[in-house]
Structure 1
Amino acid sequence: MERDSTAGGAEDLLLEDTVSKLRAGSLHKHELAEAMEVEQEGLVEHQPLEQDDLNFEKWKPKPKPKRTLHEKIDDLKTYLWNAETKEFMGRSGKSWSLILLFYSALYIFLAAMFAGCMCCLMWSISPYAPTYNDRVMPPGMTMFPHVDVAHGFDVAFNASDRSSWRKYAKALEAHLKSYDDGVQDRRNINCEGNTYFMQDDLEESAERKACQFKRSWLGECSGMKDKDFGYSKGKPCILVKMNRILGYLPGQGTPVHVTCGVKKGSTEGLGEVQFFPENIFNLRYYPYYGKLRHVNYSSPLVAVHFPSVPYDTQLHIQCKLNGRGIINDSPTDRFLGSVSFTLQVGA
């Protein structure tokens, strides 16, 4: 029994050894076949090119035959209307219908959405007063005549040369047309006192009354006695005013007054300065309620007269607003609470 078991074990070992050798041989043959295949591919890659392969002309794209004008016209006619396929510009009637329907619906939707947004916007805001007022509360200041935007507020002329100062007189005359006494009597009411003219108790859409500001109050600078506003005599006039700000109450209960002087140099070189009707902005012209409600509103003016300006001297003049809550020395905005200009009068 022991001999049989030993013999059976030896036979099993011999069989396993034989199987392993066969497997090793098959793996070796497989690796050998792969190596031969790679070598064959390398030989194919390094084979010399045939003569036919060196003929580069055959690889060049063949030129398209030139088409005649008649052929092009025929192609265009076919593109516009193909009688065989019943297509217009490459599309059938059904395709064109679907495209037109799609874009019509798209643009109708966009138009309706835009109209709805605009309606909501207009419904939510008031036409009489802005919802948010981002304008500065300290008012700006401007002057007339202002005839040359490119060169700023410069007034330079010769008293003996009418053509040099006529433009300034015409600009002042045009600006004062709405201040004529007859116009003010028809449009506005006569106000007295020096307090704010409050009209907040009226309905939002109700028209507000405006106080009169008559041209005759400007005296020597009204242009009624002297049509040349003093320019022909070398004694010019200018007009200054505050910019309009909706609902603004200047001076915090006290009038804002105006001063003018030489910005650079001695103040004595300017000579006497006269103001008409006075050098303050009366409080009865405030607050301003906007164009839709204050239809006939006339901004108050201060006329500045220079009766003794030296000839042939360029003066840098600055007029300032002075009062509570007024800023007139801003380094970034030269029109905030003040206005600067040059004045040069020649004989």
Structure 2
Amino acid sequence: MATLKEKRTCGQRCEDFGHFVWNSDNGTFMGRTPVKWVFISLYYVAFYVVMTSLFCLAIYVLLYTLDPYKPDYQDRLQSPGVMVWPDTYGEEDVEINYNTSDKSSWMKMTNILNKFLEPYNDTAQQGCYNHNCTKGQFYIQNTFSAPHHTKWACPFTTSMLGDCSGQEDPTFGYNCSMPCVIIKMNRIINFLPTNSSEPAPHVNCTILEGQGNVDKMEYFPDGGIMDLSYFPYYGKRAQPLYVNPLVAVRFHLVGEKSAKIQCRVVSQQISYENYHDPYEGKVVFFLNAGK
């Protein structure tokens, strides 16, 4: 019968561990002599230096081949999405609900619009006034002629939104039954919304539900046009001062003062029937002014 292994005390275990850490008989530290520790340390230092160098070289080569002003691959949609402000979302859709008799309710909408329009004030757009933009023509720029190796951007100010600019009416019509909404088309680098023979893209809104509750619609700028001079967009680094052209729509609500509305950017180059992306080329929202 095998002899049972003798149970060692705590003091003996500590003594064994100390002997492992430093063995005076063999002159080893944790099982290796100082010379071997030097060799293995040098090996791992050299190993990680080589690995770090290879990683840095790979990153350098990758960055060297990339254009800092334009992505090599774009996995976004070829047709831009469309958004609406105030961007108050319900469970699935944009629901612009307010009550004309409740100041806190309609002030929430005006605050959203004021915050959204901050980059469009005259002060923020001053850097765009050093050159001329030709209305109705694409602003093609093959060189970086703007300061700091950038490209120019055409200015778009809140005053261009007319009665929906918030300058004459700071409530944007939300204290009554004439609310303004702002339509914005998302950016796609080098995207041209039309060809040379087509008119500029424009916003067109249709009433999907509650047709009798909308007496009239007004577009600002006139005709809801997004001028061609704001295209193409060259990217945030190339055009740091660029802002999207906007279209404001003012609705005159009557009756129950509620409607389901679709606003579409109309152009042959912009699709709007993508089942998988309901915001491509158009936006649908509910407008309810309460009673």
Shorter-chain TM-score: what band?
0.7 to 0.9
Match of 1:193 among 102, 126, 135: 135
Match of 1:172 among 113, 136, 145: 113
Partner of 2:187 in structure 1?
A: 244
Partner of 2:244 in structure 1?
A: 299
Is 182-191 or 211-220 further displaced after alignment?
Answer: 182-191
Map 1:207-222; keep pairs closer than 5 Å. 207-222=150-165
The one-letter code matched in structure 2 to 1:227 is P
- Aligned-pair identity in percent equals 32
What's the CA shift for 1:334? Answer: 0.9
Query: Using the alignment, how far apart are the partners of 1:273 and 1:63 within structure 2?
Result: 95
Q: Which has the higher contact order (CA 8 A, sep 6+)?
A: 2
Query: Using the alignment, how far apart are the partners of 1:175 and 1:122 within structure 2?
Result: 34
SS for the counterpart of 1:290 is coil
Partner of 2:86 in structure 1?
A: 145
- Whether 1:345 aligns to 2:289 is yes
- Whether 1:333 aligns to 2:277 is yes
Partner of 1:270 in structure 2?
A: 214
Query: Using the alignment, how far apart are the partners of 2:161 and 2:138 within structure 1?
Result: 22
User: Is contact 1:274–1:304 with CA below 8 Å preserved after alignment?
Assistant: yes
What's the CA shift for 1:130? Answer: 2.3
The one-letter code matched in structure 2 to 1:158 is N
What's the CA shift for 1:64? Answer: 5.0
Match of 1:258 among 196, 203, 206: 203
Taking structure 1 as reference, are residues 175 and 64 closer, same or farther at Cα in structure 2, changes over 3 Å only?
Answer: farther
Query: Using the alignment, how far apart are the partners of 1:82 and 1:309 within structure 2?
Result: 95
Query: Using the alignment, how far apart are the partners of 1:293 and 1:128 within structure 2?
Result: 6
User: Is contact 1:147–1:167 with CA below 8 Å preserved after alignment?
Assistant: no
User: Is contact 2:180–2:249 with CA below 8 Å preserved after alignment?
Assistant: yes
Structure 2 unaligned regions, length at least 5: none
Partner of 2:231 in structure 1?
A: 286
User: Is contact 2:210–2:260 with CA below 8 Å preserved after alignment?
Assistant: no
What's the CA shift for 1:127? Answer: 0.8
SS for the counterpart of 1:79 is helix
Match of 1:110 among 26, 51, 55: 51
> Which structure dedicates a bigger proportion of its chain to strand?
2
The one-letter code matched in structure 2 to 1:246 is I
The one-letter code matched in structure 2 to 1:76 is F
User: Is contact 1:261–1:270 with CA below 8 Å preserved after alignment?
Assistant: no
The one-letter code matched in structure 2 to 1:198 is I
Query: Using the alignment, how far apart are the partners of 1:82 and 1:150 within structure 2?
Result: 71
The one-letter code matched in structure 1 to 2:270 is I
Query: Using the alignment, how far apart are the partners of 1:127 and 1:178 within structure 2?
Result: 24
Match of 2:253 among 295, 304, 308: 308
What's the CA shift for 1:113? Answer: 1.0
User: Is contact 2:128–2:154 with CA below 8 Å preserved after alignment?
Assistant: no
Query: Using the alignment, how far apart are the partners of 1:153 and 1:331 within structure 2?
Result: 18
Which protein is bigger by CA-based radius of gyration? Answer: 1
SS for the counterpart of 2:252 is coil
Structure 1 unaligned regions, length at least 5: 1-57
User: Is contact 2:145–2:151 with CA below 8 Å preserved after alignment?
Assistant: no
Partner of 1:83 in structure 2?
A: 24
SS for the counterpart of 1:211 is coil
Query: Using the alignment, how far apart are the partners of 1:151 and 1:228 within structure 2?
Result: 27
Taking structure 1 as reference, are residues 244 and 74 closer, same or farther at Cα in structure 2, changes over 3 Å only?
Answer: same
Map 1:29-108; keep pairs closer than 5 Å. 58=1, 62=4, 64-65=6-7, 67-68=9-10, 70-108=11-49
Report the aligned-residue RMSD. 2.6
The one-letter code matched in structure 2 to 1:317 is I
User: Is contact 1:275–1:302 with CA below 8 Å preserved after alignment?
Assistant: yes
Partner of 2:62 in structure 1?
A: 121
